[in-house]
Amino acid sequence: MEFVDGQNLREILSARHVLRPDVAARIALQVASALEHARRNGLMHRDIKPENILITTDGVVKVADFGLSRALAESRATQANVLMGTAAYLAPEQVQGETVDHRADIYSLGIVLFEMLTGKLPFGGDSPVVVAYKRVAEDVPSAMSINPGVPRELDVIVARATGRAASSRFATAGQMVEALREQAPRSVGGLVHHTQAIPIVGEETIAVQRRGGGAEGPARRSKRKRDLRRPRWLALLLLLAVIAATIYVIAGRTPSVAVPGVTNMLQADAIAALTARGFKTSTQNEFNATVTAGNVISQAPREGAKAAKGSTITLYISNGPVTVTVPRVKLMLFSYAQRRLTAAGFKVMKVDAFSDTVRKGRVIDQDPSADAIVPKGTTITLTVSTGPNLVAVPDVTKKSQADATNALETAGFVVSVKQTMSETVPKGNVISQSPNAGTKLANGSTVTLTVSTGPPPVKVPNLLCMTRKQAQDALNHAGLKGNFQGLSGDTKRVVDQDPVAGADVPKGSTVNVVMGYGTTC
């Protein structure tokens, strides 16, 4: 195992908390270079974190602990139910147990870069499992929102590296290297102090191998003394070689010019502007919810950076927002519908409404409708039933049938009528109602009215041969009135009547009575 004179990145972050953006970019660039080399040799790391990033005292960054990668490569196993790697740095596909590729390492490096720039991790939680699963449902926040000193271009790199979908990240670590070059200084020396040998973490930890052997012996000490006695002219010769190489590079260097800013421009306009300044262009497309489709999201190198004429400027072109299909949640319980929509990446707004047909707590309608194609994150408005609209039944007793019916139908009820005789309620008026006044019913419920047909009929008594007094008493007893005609006098008798005896007439009716001699009595 190689001895590395320096510290791991975790020790540096514990002491400094936040690194300068250019220093953080340089460290990330070297780690990305190592990951690209591993990718080209068919290896993934799967556990990129500050503890596995070693930095020597002269600023060289080394990636340690490829043990997990080798073990997985040898077994060719993808374990769906095991979270491999440290929870805080896992890619979403690792958390979900899906098949992963080298882009999972790019995600982990993006989290490390975020931590170097902000001094904190993007996700927190009560347990490693909570932290791990947050990245499945949430995007990594902007590093600039936590540390305003982070350059926008570096913030864009963090965002690309930590895309939730592997397809939205850098395609290779090599692409991330190119994006980081403009942000990185030449060295990160001076960050670390001399340290002890790296302790062995476990059997699967594989550190960078050392070329030499064990302890320094007599032969090595003798050689070191001879090295110290080498002529000083050798150092002078090396200095002259460096100067000559520098002159050669400067003489053959292509003139550098400032890169123009083309963000938010149409792709064709941006390419034309860069071509006019002597640059070549390459494009990469990605989804973006804020930049119009076909416009430039960002560029690398950034606006104002110096770049040689003829060099390539990479433009990241918006495909517009990610679009998804709205699932059908109509008639579902609101709680189930809300969970389903939230899991699919939608926002939910609830609106309550009465419904006579949909049960309380279930979705009456949704907007946008099911199967609509909308941008991810769209707000879906759910109209949820609060049950039927209950209305108090008005009091319509003693009213005429017509007035009572009109009042009930205006309140939203259906009217049913039955009739009965009444000695106290005039004909055509409401005797009673069911349900009673004040009862709360759903819209469309039926209210039954009992309507008077007037008092019950009485039979006309037989008045023939009666004296006037006798006839009057009989009519009074039956509840009828008499209209006496003909001869007068106490000896006169009833000789005719209308209606005839036994006829049914309403109580209070008048009977016509004819008085005469009554010769037949």
CB burial string 500-512: b at 16+ within 10 A, e below: eeeeebeeebebe
User: Each residue of 58-117: pLDDT tens digit?
Assistant: 889 999 987 555 433 443 333 433 344 478 899 998 888 888 899 999 999 999 999 999
pLDDT digits (tens, 9 = 90+) for 283-294: 988 888 889 999
Share of the chain above pLDDT 70, in %: 82
Q: Does residue 204 or residue 35 have the better pLDDT?
A: 35
Mean pLDDT, rounded, of the chain: 83
Asked whether the beta carbons of 325 and 369 are under 8 A apart, the reply is no
pLDDT of residue 431: 96
CB neighbour list of residue 469: distance below 8 Å, 6 or more residues apart: 490
Q: What is the pLDDT of residue 6?
A: 85
Domains belonging to the chain, first-starting first, are 6-181 (1.10.510.10), 256-318 (3.30.10.20), 323-385 (3.30.10.20), 390-452 (3.30.10.20), 457-516 (3.30.10.20)
- Give yes or no for a contact between 181 and 192, defined as CB atoms under 8 angstroms apart: no
pLDDT in tens, 3-38: 777 899 999 999 888 999 999 999 999 999 999 999
CA distance 468 to 137: 105
Q: Which residue has the tokens 């302790």?
A: 199
pLDDT (mean) for 157-178? 94
State the pLDDT at residue 254.
Answer: 56
Amino acid 185: pLDDT: 55
Digit-coded pLDDT (tens) for 304-330: 888 888 999 999 999 988 888 999 999
Kindly indicate the confidence band of residue 394, based on its pLDDT and cuts at 50, 70 and 90. very high
Instruction: Catalogue the active-site residues.
Output: 47
What is the pTM assigned to this prediction? 0.39
With beta carbons less than 8 A apart as the criterion, state whether 363 and 331 touch. yes
Task: Note the pLDDT tens digit of each residue in 418-464.
Answer: 999 998 999 999 999 999 999 999 888 999 999 999 989 999 999 99
pLDDT tens digits, one per residue of 470-492: 999 999 999 999 999 998 888 89
Rounded Cα gap, residues 143 and 298, in angstroms? 16
* Residue 499: per-residue pLDDT: 96
User: How far are the Cα atoms of 45, 69, 107, 188, 207 from residue 35, in angstroms, in the given order?
Assistant: 8, 12, 12, 19, 15
Q: How confident is the model at residue 246 (pLDDT cuts 50, 70, 90)?
A: very low
pLDDT above 90: residue 245: no
Q: What is the pLDDT of residue 489?
A: 84
Extract the tokens encoding 83. 């979270």
Averaged pLDDT for residues 338-356:
94
pLDDT one-digit tens code per residue, 103-113: 999 999 999 99
Asked if the model's pLDDT at residue 239 lies above 90, the reply is no
Q: In this model, does residue 55 exceed pLDDT 90?
A: yes
H or E stretch at 433 = strand 430-434
Residue 69 is predicted with a pLDDT of 55
Q: In this model, does residue 133 exceed pLDDT 60? A: yes
Instruction: Using a pLDDT cut of 90, give the percent of the chain over it.
Output: 61
Q: Is pLDDT of 234 > 80?
A: no
Q: What angle do CA 189, 195, 200 make, to 5 degrees?
A: 120
